[in-house]
Structure 1
Amino acid sequence: MTTLPDWMRPPRAEGWFAEDLDRLPEAPRHTELIDGALVFMVTPQRSWHGRVVTSLTLELARQAPEGVEVEREMTIRLDARNRPEPDLLVTTAPFDPDRTWYEPADVLLVVEVVSPESAHRDRTVKLRKYAEAGIRHYWCIEDEDSAAVVHVYELDEPTGAYAPTGIFRGLLQRPVPYEISIDLTRLTPPRR
């Protein structure tokens, strides 16, 4: 077994904190912090995943009202020990070229496109953590025979948990967090 590089060793016994991510230039590009542990995205990205994220980012940005921005692959500082990186987020925070993370209060919608290595985190861990942080809207996108299927959740204020509000195939129409209408069949090209 090879030894770990020094930068991979937590700076304290309690593990990593959110601000530590900004001081790890050696870490892989898509490094997240979940419960004080670093999570590395080291598996190759599937073309389907990349196409869905890119197409959805462009479509959400095109439909966004004034003062709403769409970002991809930026972390959200949920608390001192959690800084996940969703595939994309919709925010009311003004553009800042030096920003490395967002506050939950500035995030309107989080979108995770499920990959085999992230399935458990996207479907359970992040679902719970984003809700606990008060992010009102969460979409989890699944690959169903190469078609994008969107599972939509909305924060239930009394319980502080997400309630499912629909599973969308073909056409996604939502009145929140703003008027959205997306032809899901156009997110990825059909299989040949």
Structure 2
Amino acid sequence: MSAEPLPDWLRPPPGGFTADDLDRLPDLPPHTELIDGSLVFVSPQSRFHSLTMYVLETGLHGCAPDSVRVRREMTVTLERRQRPEPDIVVVDAAADAGPDQTTYRGEDVVLAVGVVSAESEERDRGRKPQLYAQAGIRHFWRVENVGGLPTVYVYELDPATHTYALTGIHHDRLELSVPFPVDVDLTAVDRL
């Protein structure tokens, strides 16, 4: 029995992978991210993760002004070696470049949302928010599973320090005035 050859994408090039490589490497697993020049593969989603993304995506679609678009599981190119995939992004409407688009630029992102998963806690709570802040993304929401319901931690960018400041913790209902008026019933996850 002969071993199958390894795919080329398992061997990083000198200096690591670049954001453009995600579009060129054949047969990458779905939702592969690039963080610090390394490919990151995601585990299958939990029921909580999937339902929470649905509730937030649907809620944001209902609240979003015409000047923005709500997108699910699209990568964001922040710099040459950084192309993470937030669970949900809200982008300027002008950033939509057609049906074959695979990524958005960091400067086009109004809001990045990450639903924390067990396998990616450190990235979701630490590295990815750090990258979003350094790229100047003004709004970031981190969503945690608390007793089977989503709790949303809302952050806003401090432009002087390029770090996020926690502006609120929302348990049953997400009501905000920025980045646009938002009103989402988080308990809807329990009814799906």
Assess same fold via TM > 0.5. Answer: yes
Answering whether residue 174 of structure 2 is matched by residue 172 of structure 1, we say: yes
Do the aligned partners of 1:49 and 1:113 also contact (CA within 8 Å) in 2? yes
1:40-69 CA-to-partner distances (Å, cap 9, x unmatched) read 01x221111001101211110111111210
**Counterpart of 1:70?**
70
Normalised TM-score (structure 2): 0.93
Structure 1 stretches of at least 4 aligned residues deviating more than 3 Å after TM superposition: 1-4
TM-score normalised by the chain length of structure 1: 0.93
Q: Which runs of structure 2 are paired with 1:1-192 in the superposition (5 Å)?
A: 4-10=6-12, 12-41=13-42, 43-94=43-94, 95=96, 96-186=98-188, 188-189=189-190
Q: Secondary structure at the match of 2:155?
A: strand
**Secondary structure of 2:119's aligned partner:** coil
Identity level (%): 48
Aligned CA RMSD, in angstroms, stands at 1.6
Helix, strand or coil for the counterpart of 1:178? coil
Deviations 1:105-161 (A, max 9, x none): 110000000000111101010111100000000000000010100001000011110
Contact map agreement 1:141 1:151 (CA 8 A) in 2? yes
Rounded to whole Å, the distance in 1 between the matches of 2:107 and 2:130 is 16
How far is 1:2 from its partner? Answer: 8.0
**Do the aligned residues in 1 keep the contact of 2:89 with 2:109 (CA within 8 Å)?**
yes
1:15–1:36 CA contact under 8 A, matched in 2: yes
- Structure scoring higher RCO (CA < 8 A, sep ≥ 6) equals 2
Q: Structure 1: where are the runs of 5+ without partners? A: none
Gaps of 5+ in 2: none
Query: Match of 2:106, as an amino acid?
Result: P
Letter of the 1:163 counterpart: A
